Structure 1
Amino acid sequence: MLDDVLVADDPLYEELYDVRKEAESVGNFIDVGTVMPRVHQLRAQAPVHKGKLREILGLPEHDRHVYAKGRQHYSVLTYEACEAAFRDAATFSNTVQGHPNPAGERTMGILEMDPPMHRGFRRTIQPKFLMPEALGWWRTRTIDGIVERLIERMGKSERADLNLDYCARIPVYTITTAIGLNGDEALRFRHAYLNSTSSSHNISMDERIRNARIVEETLLALIGARHAEPQDDLISFLLGTKLMLPGEEPRPLTDREIMTHAKLVMVAGGGTSWRQMGITLFALLTHRDQLEAVKQDRALIDDAIEEGLRWNPTAPYFYRMVMKDTEFYGHHIAEGSVLELGLGPANRDPARWDRPDAFDMRRPKLTNMAFGLGTHRCLGMNVARVEIDRAINALLDHFPNLRLDPAAPAPFMTGGLEQQGVSALRVLLR
C-alpha cells in the first residue's frame, strides 16, 4: 500500500508542496529576494526594533499566531539577542504558539508549553528522536526503503523536479510510516490538518471544523487499534511511556495527549524537512565546486547540511510571549508583548560569521539557530539530518551527473516571511 502511494502522481503534492502556493494559502507570501536585504540593513542598525517586522518593512498584515494578535511586537535580529531570548524561557514563553480551544486542550502540545510541563511531556517522546534512533530505527524502519523506492521511480526518466518528486515525499512518508498510518492516509491527513487551523486562508469555519474532525478521527482510530494490537511504531511506543510531572504520580499518556504528539510530529516533520532538504540540494546544485567536493568525500555532506541550515533556515522566525516587564537590548518591554526572533537574520549575523551571505560548507563550525536553541530546540532535528543525508547520498550514488536543467527556470528562494524554501529543483539526472 505504501509503495503504491509513495510513487503515485497525486495532484495533492503540487497543492501541498509548492512553497509559493503554501505561502499564498496562508496569506503571508513575500518577495524573498527584495525583503531579506532590507532585514539585514535593520539588523545592522540595532539588535532589536520596536514593532512587527512586517510593519517595519511595509509588508501586508499577517498574524502567524492567534495569541500574538493585537499585542506590541519587538523584532530581534542579531545572534546574541536571539540567543539571550531563547535561553530565558521564564521571561520569554512559548505559550504564544497556542490556539484557542473550547475544551482548554493544548492543541499544539509541547510547542506551547514551558518548563516544567514541557520537560515532562517532551521526555515521553524524545527517546525515539535521539541520534542513535535516527540512525537505527528510523533508517531501517522508514527512511532507507522510501529513498530506494523514489530513486527507482525517478530513474525511469531523464528529468525530475527534486522538490516534488523527492524532497516532498521522503519526510511525509517517513513520518507516516513511523506513526503507523497507512500510506494512502498521509497526504489526506496533512491536507485535512492544514485546512483545519486558524491560519488556513480563505477556508470557512465549517470546512475547518470538518477537517479537524477528520484529523482527530484518523488518529484516535489508530490509537485505538494500537491499544488492541501494538506494533513497531511511534504510537505503540507512546502507549508504553509514562508521563512524569512534578508533584504528580507517573501515569500513561491519555489518548488525546498521544494524538497531540502525533499531530505535531506529522505536521512538523512532514512540513519543514522537505523544504530544508530542497534548500540543501539547491545550495549544492548552484555551487558546483562544493558539489564536486561532496562527490569526492561523502563525509562533507554533513557539513553541507549544517551550512544549508545556517544559510537559509526554512523557518526563519520564532515567536515568544513576554511574561514580565523586562529590559532587553535598550528597550523596556512590557509584560504581554511578543518577541519575533529572527533566526534567519541571526544566522547571517556578520558579528558571528565572515561572509555570512555566502554558502560555504568549509567555514568554521559554529552553532546556528535553524533548529532553535535551549528548551525548545527542535525535537526532530536528528531525524531531519539523517533524511537529508540519506537523500543526498542516494542521489549521488545513482545519478553522478546530476545537474540543474538548463532548459528550466533557475531556482530561487521563495515563500513567506515565516517559512521559506526553493521554488523548484528541475534537474537532469544523467
Structure 2
Amino acid sequence: MNEVLTARDPLYEELYDVRREAEDAGNLVEGDANPGMNALRDAAPVHKGFLRELLGMPEFHRHSAAKGRQGYTCFSYATCDQAFRDFTNFSNKIMQMGPAEPGEPPRLGLLEMDEPEHRAYRRTIQPKFSRPVAFKWWTELWVQEIVDALMLALKDERSADLNLQLCARIPVHTITRAVGLDGNDALVFRHALMRSSAYGRIGLDEVQRNAATVQNMLTDLVGKRRRERRDDLTSHLVDATLELPDGSSRPLTDAEIVMHLRVVLIAGGGTSWRQMGITLWALLADREQLEIVRADRGMLERAVIESVRWNPTDPVFSRLVAQDCELGGVPLPAGAVLEICLGAANRDPARWDNPDVFDVRRPVQHQLGWGMGTHQCMGMNVAKAEIIAAINGLLDSFPNIRLDPDQPAPFLTGGLEQRGISALPVRLD
C-alpha cells in the first residue's frame, strides 16, 4: 500500500488540481468571491436571484433540476442557519442525481433525501462517523499509518507541493481502505468515480464505462463482505438494520449499501482534501498562527474549525422551496430554488468580530461550513482527524516548514461549489 500511497502517479495531478476540476465542470471563478458575497449580505439577508447571477458571473447550475426555475439566495448567518434547519420548507430533492439506468426512476441517496427517510438511512452509517470513532477507529486503523508513511516519504525532500504530496493522498487512501477496497485501487477507483458523473465533459460511452466500473467494484465488494466480514464500513453496513418510518425494519439491500458507499467515497476523497489545503495555507501564511498551534497542539482542532468558517470548500448549497413560505422577510414561491451562501454567513459581522481574518484564538461557536440541521456533514469528524494528524505530522517532522518563497504564492481557486488551494509549495529543510 505504501508504494502506491507515495508514488508520483500522474493521476494525482489530474484528480487533485482544483482549477482544472472547475474548468472541467464549467464553473471556474476567477479571483476572490468573498468581497462580493459579503457586499450582498450587507445589503440584504435574502436576494432574488441565483448567487452567480447576483455576482455578475456566467450561469452555472450544480444541479440540473435548478435549470429554468426562479432563484433566490440567502446570505446572513440567521437566514442561512434557518434554511439549513427547516427541512419542511427547503428540500434536498433539488440534488437528485438522476436515473441510475436509462428508463429507471431517479435513485435517491442520502444527500437527496428529506425527513423522515433521511434520518432512517443515515442512522445505519452515522455511528461510524461519530467523534469518538473518528479519533480512534479511523485514526488507529488508517489515518495515522497513512500520515506516517507520507512523512517518511518526505523526510529527504528539501521542498514539496503539499497539495499533491500530502493533502490529495490522506483522504482518498483513508476512505478507500475504510470502505474495504484495496489501497492499490484508490486512484483508479476515484478516477472512475469522478468520470462516471462527468456528463457533457466526456463522451456518454466513457461515462457509462466508468459508471459500470464503479458499480461493479462496489457490488463485488458488498458480495465479498456478505460472505466474509472485515473491520470496515462495508461490513458494518451489511450488518446494519434499517428502521423505516412506518415502524418496520430490515437489512440494507446491496443497492442501498452501494448508495451509501458512493456518497462517502465522493465526499471523503474530495472535500477533505480541499479543506486540508485551506487549513495548511492559513497557518503557513501567518507565522503567528502557526506558532500558536505548534506550542499547543490542542489548538489544532480550533484551527480546522476556523478554516472551515473562514473559507469553506463548499461556500454555497441549494434547496428546493417545497411550499410557499418566507425567509428574511422575502416571500419564496413553491418550486423556486434557494441558494444558501454559507460563505457569506460564516463571515457575518453580526456574529463574528473581524470575520474576514483567520484567527485560531477566536472563540468557538457554531458556523455553517459543515452545514447545519439534519444534513450536517456526516464526515466532519473524520475530516478533523485527518487534518489534525497531517498537521501534527508536519510539525513533528519538519520544524522549519514554511511556504516556499521561490514559488508562486498559493491562492484560492475553483468554483463557488468547490474551492481549494492552487498549490501548496513549501520548504522542508
Instruction: Flag whether TM exceeds 0.5 (same fold).
Output: yes
* TM bucket, shorter chain: over 0.9
**What is the CA distance between 1:249 and its match in structure 2?**
2.2
Which ranges in structure 1 are unaligned for 5 or more consecutive residues?
none
Conserved? CA contact 1:194–1:200, under 8 Å: no
Query: Identity over the aligned pairs, expressed in percent?
Result: 54
What's 2:76 paired with? 78
**What is the CA distance between 1:200 and its match in structure 2?**
4.2
What's 1:29 paired with? 28
**What is the CA distance between 1:105 and its match in structure 2?**
4.6
**What is the CA distance between 1:330 and its match in structure 2?**
2.7
In 1, the alpha carbon distance for the partners of 2:364 and 2:141 equals: 31
**What is the CA distance between 1:204 and its match in structure 2?**
1.7
Q: How many equivalent pairs are there?
A: 426
Match for 1:314: what amino acid? T
In 1, the alpha carbon distance for the partners of 2:130 and 2:309 equals: 21
Match for 1:32: what amino acid? G
**What is the CA distance between 1:298 and its match in structure 2?**
1.0
What's 2:94 paired with? 96
Conserved? CA contact 1:32–1:417, under 8 Å: no
What's 2:118 paired with? 118
Deviation per residue, 1:190-231 (Å, 9 max, x gap): 11121121x545212222111111110010011111111111
In 2, the alpha carbon distance for the partners of 1:200 and 1:352 equals: 40
In 1, the alpha carbon distance for the partners of 2:349 and 2:10 equals: 42
What's 1:47 paired with? 45
**What is the CA distance between 1:408 and its match in structure 2?**
0.4
Q: Which moved more, 1:53-62 or 1:367-376?
A: 53-62
In 1, the alpha carbon distance for the partners of 2:380 and 2:242 equals: 23
Structure 1 stretches of 4+ moved >6 Å: none
Conserved? CA contact 1:25–1:201, under 8 Å: no
Conserved? CA contact 1:26–1:200, under 8 Å: no
Conserved? CA contact 2:321–2:334, under 8 Å: yes
In 1, the alpha carbon distance for the partners of 2:31 and 2:354 equals: 20
In 2, the alpha carbon distance for the partners of 1:321 and 1:123 equals: 24
Conserved? CA contact 1:110–1:122, under 8 Å: yes
The TM-score, its normalising length taken from structure 1, stands at: 0.97
In 2, the alpha carbon distance for the partners of 1:7 and 1:401 equals: 22
In 1, the alpha carbon distance for the partners of 2:246 and 2:195 equals: 38
Conserved? CA contact 1:311–1:357, under 8 Å: yes
Conserved? CA contact 2:403–2:425, under 8 Å: yes
**What is the CA distance between 1:43 and its match in structure 2?**
0.9
Conserved? CA contact 2:49–2:70, under 8 Å: yes
What's 1:320 paired with? 319
Deviation per residue, 1:357-404 (Å, 9 max, x gap): 111111122111010000000000110001111110010000011001
What's 2:413 paired with? 414
Match for 2:4: what amino acid? V
* 3-state DSSP of counterpart to 1:32: coil
Q: Which moved more, 1:181-190 or 1:136-145?
A: 181-190
Deviation per residue, 1:64-108 (Å, 9 max, x gap): 00111111110111100001111110110111111220322525x
Conserved? CA contact 2:91–2:319, under 8 Å: yes
What's 2:308 paired with? 309
In 1, the alpha carbon distance for the partners of 2:246 and 2:328 equals: 37
The TM-score, its normalising length taken from structure 2, stands at: 0.97
Deviation per residue, 1:132-179 (Å, 9 max, x gap): 111111011110100000111111211110100000000000001100
Alignment of 1:17-416 (within 5 A): 17-33=16-32, 35-101=33-99, 102-107=103-108, 109-197=109-197, 200-416=199-415
Conserved? CA contact 1:308–1:359, under 8 Å: yes
Conserved? CA contact 2:37–2:343, under 8 Å: no
What's 1:5 paired with? 4
In 1, the alpha carbon distance for the partners of 2:200 and 2:308 equals: 28
